[in-house]
């Protein structure tokens, strides 16, 4: 285990015991950083929660959602690192940026623990594998896609929201050990990749299932599988990878809110309470379902424990895949 990963594990253990107590005054407005383009599922989650934070004990006005796409989501966390540690700036990010990236980047411009503090999980997503018009309509399941990819190695590719993201590794694991090399095409977020699948520029895409649903309903692409332990309640017609014999691809990724390190514990507590209250609002729950997300809050401590568990889980898998940021 590298020195960086040992530091992350030790710091997370300490964080889990950190008391969140005291009182804090609401900020005037604030910002929520998000490292992917507007219109993606996580961006919608940030906006739906932000709408409910205005007028709460956390903020007087609705926080501004500030998109910072690029570098696989890292730009938002780099900006959060240097933001004022007064609770006025939060970031919403997929789990990968704090639990997977330490395994693939020798040097990150932010330390997932020393520079960031968990506030609350916000939502859970199941990733999906979808194909578009570049793949024949006769391909309707994962096995069929693998067979097509073997027969068409020059066309066997898949997109993801970014190199080193969870969808990237799910696609890599799909091809690994199954006699097919699926070439990875990284994008700056889900939206441009899904657009290219619909347009036939690439064969397939792995990304949060919600980013496919509008296009699937319009018949412009086909979602072959989802990555959860069970089918999504709002997409119950789509079987899981596990149902189709690909149980190693089972994963459910959360989006979580972070604050800069040294943010007062009282401010973290206020933000956590406000976020969890927002996630119980029917309008927020329905808004997240519409883009394929399941609203799910947490304590800061539970989020820290999950971050640590995911860090430990993905290390061996990434080593097996053989990916590094330099590869």
**Which among 291, 215, 293 is positioned nearest to 254, based on CA atoms?**
293
Q: Give yes or no for a contact between 261 and 112, defined as CB atoms under 8 angstroms apart.
A: no
- State the fold for domain 3-125+252-321: D-Maltodextrin-Binding Protein; domain 2 (3.40.190)
Is 0.75 surpassed by the pTM of this model?
yes
| The two structure tokens encoding residue 162 | 């970014």
Query: 21 pLDDT exceeds 50?
Result: no
Percent of all residues in the chain with a pLDDT value above 70, rounded to a whole number: 92
pLDDT digits (tens, 9 = 90+) for 251-304: 999 999 999 999 999 999 999 999 999 999 999 999 999 888 999 999 999 999
Average pLDDT, the chain: 91
Q: Any residues with CB less than 8 A from the CB of 146 and at least 6 apart, and which? A: 174, 175, 178, 180
Looking at per-residue pLDDT, the higher value among 1 and 130 belongs to 130
Q: What is the pLDDT of residue 9?
A: 53
Q: Give yes or no for a contact between 34 and 76, defined as CB atoms under 8 angstroms apart.
A: yes
**Which among 69, 101, 115 is positioned nearest to 325, based on CA atoms?**
101
pLDDT digits (tens, 9 = 90+) for 118-173: 999 999 999 999 999 999 999 999 999 999 999 999 999 999 988 888 999 999 99
CA dihedral 220, 224, 230, 234 (to 10 degrees): 10
Residue 52: pLDDT band by 50, 70, 90 thresholds? very high
12-21, 30-39, 74-83: the lowest-pLDDT one: 12-21
Q: What is the pLDDT of residue 16?
A: 45
First to last CA, the chain: 20
Q: Which CATH class for the 126-249 domain?
A: alpha beta
pLDDT digits (tens, 9 = 90+) for 205-260: 999 898 898 999 999 999 999 999 999 988 999 999 999 999 999 999 999 999 99
Q: For the chain, give every domain's residue range.
A: 3-125+252-321, 126-249
Q: Any residues with CB less than 8 A from the CB of 327 and at least 6 apart, and which? A: none
2-16, 191-205, 208-222: the lowest-pLDDT one: 2-16
Same fold, 3-125+252-321 and 126-249: yes
């Amino acid at each position: 285990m590298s020195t960086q990963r040992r530091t992350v594990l030790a710091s997370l253990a300490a964080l889990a015991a950190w008391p969140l107590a005291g009182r804090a005054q609401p900020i005037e407005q604030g910002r929520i950083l998000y490292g992917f383009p507007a219109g993606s599922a996580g961006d919608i989650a940030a906006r739906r929660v932000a709408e409910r934070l205005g007028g709460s004990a956390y903020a007087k006005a609705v926080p501004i959602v500030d998109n910072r796409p690029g570098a696989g989501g890292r730009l938002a966390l780099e900006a959060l690192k240097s933001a004022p540690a007064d609770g006025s700036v939060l970031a919403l990010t997929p789990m990968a940026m704090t639990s997977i990236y330490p395994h693939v980047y020798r040097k990150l411009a932010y330390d997932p623990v020393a520079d960031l503090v968990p506030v609350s999980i916000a939502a859970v997503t199941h990733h999906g594998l979808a194909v578009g018009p570049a793949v024949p309509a006769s391909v309707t399941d994962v096995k069929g896609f693998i067979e097509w990819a073997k027969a068409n190695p020059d066309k066997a590719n898949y997109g993801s929201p970014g190199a080193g993201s969870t969808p990237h590794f799910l696609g890599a694991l799909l091809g690994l050990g199954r006699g097919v090399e699926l070439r990875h095409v990284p994008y700056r977020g889900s939206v441009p990749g899904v657009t290219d699948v619909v347009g036939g520029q690439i064969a397939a895409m792995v990304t949060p299932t919600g980013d496919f649903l509008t296009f699937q309903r319009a018949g412009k692409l086909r979602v072959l599988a989802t990555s959860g332990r069970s089918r999504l309640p709002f997409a119950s017609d789509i079987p899981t990878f596990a149902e189709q014999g690909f149980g190693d691809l089972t994963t459910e990724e959360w989006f979580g809110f972070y604050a800069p390190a040294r943010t007062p514990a009282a401010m973290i507590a206020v933000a956590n309470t406000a976020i969890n209250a927002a996630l119980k609002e029917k309008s927020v729950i329905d808004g997240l379902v519409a883009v394929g997300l399941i609203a799910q809050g947490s304590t800061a401590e539970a989020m820290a424990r999950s971050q640590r568990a995911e860090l430990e889980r993905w290390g061996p898998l990434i080593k097996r895949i053989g990916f590094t940021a330099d590869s």
